[in-house]
């Protein structure tokens, strides 16, 4: 069964450093998303991406965040200068028609 | 503000019994609802979905009920098994848009 894959599974970084989280969405999907989940809390929307541009973003997704689809398969989330409060599990998701999202297993980001 | 929330943070259920997980939503503009299961260290996994023009939908051992009058969504799991132990999230999508907004989650613990 096709699945969304994310790398790395764990990322440890120093405050102020840049990180890039990588995702390979399901191949025939057209909508791509990043969500995050702080430990013990609910899953929060960050950004959605369709037709090679951001279609919607949340207040969390400020100027420190960016997304990119550099080729036909990868979808990345970049955090330019990480803060302690960026520590969370980051989930990539994709879907075919904008409703039923399929999630990856996540990247646990720890900012020290 | 508009939100999706859950009534019970933890539900303990005896193996073999039925489970009912409840979710309240406040956005009457939502046209699509979905339940996800999240096991420890994993991403949300699709269980079942329902559109706003339906009030009931059944899957394998699961049923979703939608009551638009009181803005209430529930997930029923029949003959709960140890493998059903997880956190369950409801999520909604507005008619105009393609992002899912998640509720706070309910932990289901299945006792042998």
Rounded CA separation A13/A17 (Å): 7
Across the interface, of A42, A55, A104, the residue whose CB is closest to B103 is A42
Q: Compute the residue count for chain A.
A: 112
Predicted local confidence at residue B4, as pLDDT: 54
pLDDT confidence of A10, banded at 50, 70, 90?
very high
Average pLDDT for B55-76? 96
Residue A88 vs residue B105, higher pLDDT: A88
Of B43, B89, B101, the CB nearest to A45: B101
pLDDT band at A102 (very low <50, low <70, confident <90, very high): very high
- In which band, very low, low, confident or very high, does the pLDDT at B6 lie, cut at 50, 70 and 90? very low
% of chain A surpassing 70 pLDDT:
100
Q: Which CA distances in Å does B46 have to A61, A93, B37?
A: 25, 12, 7
Which chain A residues have any C-beta within 8 angstroms of a chain B C-beta? 4, 31, 33, 35, 41-45, 48, 50, 55-56, 91, 93, 95, 98-106
Exposure pattern of A35-57 as b/e (b: 16+ CB <10 Å)?
A: bbbeeeebbbbbbbbeeeeebeb
Report the percentage of chain B scoring pLDDT > 90: 77
Residue A44 near residue A37 (C-beta atoms within 8 A) = yes
Comparing C-alpha atoms, which of B45, B86, B90, B85 is closest to residue B66? Answer: B90
β-sheet with B62-67: strand ranges across: B4-6, B19-25, B72-77, B62-67, B56-58
State how far residue B6 is from chain A, nearest Cα, in angstroms.
11
- Interface subset of B 32-71, CB within 8 angstroms of A: 32, 34, 36, 41-46, 49
- For residue B72, what pLDDT is reported? 94
Residue whose tokens read 């394998």: B60
Helix/strand/coil for A71 = coil
Query: B49 and A33: CB-CB below 8 Å?
Result: no
* Tens-place pLDDT, residues A21-73: 999 999 999 999 999 999 878 899 999 999 999 999 999 999 999 999 988 78
């Amino acid at each position: 069964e096709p699945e969304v894959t994310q790398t790395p599974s764990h990322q440890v970084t120093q405050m102020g450093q840049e990180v890039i989280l990588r995702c390979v969405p399901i191949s025939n999907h057209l909508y791509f998303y990043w969500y995050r989940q702080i430990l013990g809390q609910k899953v929060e929307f960050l950004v959605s991406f369709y037709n090679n541009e951001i279609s919607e973003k949340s207040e969390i997704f400020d100027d420190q965040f960016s997304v990119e689809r550099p080729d036909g398969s990868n979808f990345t989330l970049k955090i330019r200068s990480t803060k302690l409060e960026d520590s969370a599990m980051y989930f990539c998701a994709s879907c075919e028609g904008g409703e039923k999202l399929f999630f990856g297993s996540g990247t646990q980001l720890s900012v020290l | 503000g508009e939100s999706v929330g859950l009534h019970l943070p933890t539900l303990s259920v005896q193996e073999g019994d039925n489970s009912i997980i409840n979710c309240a939503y406040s956005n009457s503009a939502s046209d699509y609802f979905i339940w996800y299961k999240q096991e420890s260290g994993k991403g949300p996994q699709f269980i079942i979905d329902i559109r706003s023009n339906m009030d009931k939908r059944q899957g394998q051992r699961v049923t979703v009920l939608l009551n638009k009058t009181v803005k209430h969504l529930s997930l029923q799991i029949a003959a709960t098994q140890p493998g059903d132990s997880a956190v369950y999230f409801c999520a909604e999508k507005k008619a105009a848009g393609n992002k899912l907004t998640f509720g706070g989650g309910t932990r289901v613990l299945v006792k042998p």
